[in-house]
Amino acid sequence: PSLRHTLSQVLVGPNQAPHIHELLQTAARRLNMDGNVPDLYIKQNPSPNAYTLAINGRKPFIVVHTSLIELLSLDELQAVIAHELGHLKCNHGVWLTVANLIATSALSIPAVGGVVSSGMEEALMRWVRAAEFSCDRAALVVVQDPRVVASVLMKLAGGSSSLAPHLNVDAFIEQAQSYENATADAVGRFMRRAQTRELSHPLPVVRAAAINQWGSSAEYNAILANGVQEES
C-alpha cells in the first residue's frame, strides 16, 4: 500500500477491528486464497463504498469506507469483502490495466482514433460490468445466501443506517424480477443496453436478479460441493 493509505487510514488486523479482520480471513479461506490475503484499510468517508487496488506489483489491498461498515450487517460486510477478493482471485486488476492501456493507445491513432477508442471504451465498460457479476458470485460462494448479497445491493441502491431496519430484501428481489420480466423482449433488451452502456457497474436490480438466479444453479451447488473450505 502507498504511504498515503498507511498514514491516513486504519489498517485492520488481529488487534485492530479484529471482527473485520476475521471476516477477511474467513472469506479468503473459502475462496482458497489463504496465502494471498490482501491488507484491508478502513477509510473515513460518508459515501458507502469499497474498492481494491493492486499497483505496480505491490501487495494488493482493500479499502472499505466507514459509512459502508455502518450501513451493513456483519454478513453483508463479509459479502462486500468477498466481492473485493473476487477481483483479485480473477486477476481483474491486471486485465483492467491492459484494457485501459489499449484504450489510451487507440486515442493516439490519427483520424480514426476517436472512433476506435469509443468502441474500445464501450467494450471495456461491458467487461467491467461482467467482472462485477463474477465478483458477486465470489461473494455468494463465501456467504452462501443469495439474500445477503441482494441485501447489500438493496442498501447500496437506496439504504441508510436509519432506513435499513425497514427494508425488505424479498421485496427487492421481487422488484428485480419484475425488471427482468419487463425487459425480456427485444425492446426491453434495447432499453437495458441504452441504460447501462456507460455504467461501470450493472444496475443493482439486475445484479440482484442475477445472483438470485445463480444461487439456485447447478454450477453454484457444484462449487460448494467441491471447492469451499469451511471452518475446521
The catalytic residues are: 84
Residue 72 makes CB contacts below 8 A (sequence gap 6+) with 80, 152, 155
- DSSP states of 26-45 as a string? HHHHHTT-GGGPPEEEEE--
Q: How would you class 210 by CB atoms within 10 Å of its CB: exposed for 0-12, middle for 13-18, buried for 19 or more?
A: buried
Dihedral (Cα; 139, 144, 150, 153), 10-degree rounding:
-20
What the block records as the C-alpha cell of 3 is 504511504
C-alpha closest to that of 130 among 177, 196, 190 = 196
- Alpha carbons 32 and 100: distance in angstroms, whole number: 29
